Amino acid sequence: MRWSYLKEYHPGLYNSLLLNEKLYPHLLELERTANKRIETMLPRMMVADGVTEELKGRDPMGWVQMMNVLKAQAEETILNELIYSEET
């Protein structure tokens, strides 16, 4: 997603990173950072919203629904903070 965003909306930065052989390391580091952020955000969000193992046992479909909402919220945050950021 970051690759597409840079190529479409910041072609100068995209070309600069590509020509300096920094584009792929940049994309790899961004992917690692995004995955780590989701791994740390989800458990905190689960605690804040009361999504517990007890809920999972009592109402599995409700738990899945809540987890899907939390994951979507975390991903949206990551997209706005990392992927669509203009910083390199």
**47 contacts 14 by C-beta, under 8 angstroms:** no
Domain assignment present for residue 88? The answer is no
Residues 6+ apart with CB under 8 A from 5: 83, 84
Q: What is the pLDDT of residues 4-21, one digit of tens each?
A: 999 999 999 999 999 999
For 24, the domain range is 2-83
Residues 6+ apart with CB under 8 A from 66: 49, 51, 55
Q: Is this prediction's pTM over 0.85?
A: no
- Into how many domains does the chain fold? 1
Mean pLDDT of the chain: 94
Give yes or no for residue 42 having a pLDDT over 70: yes
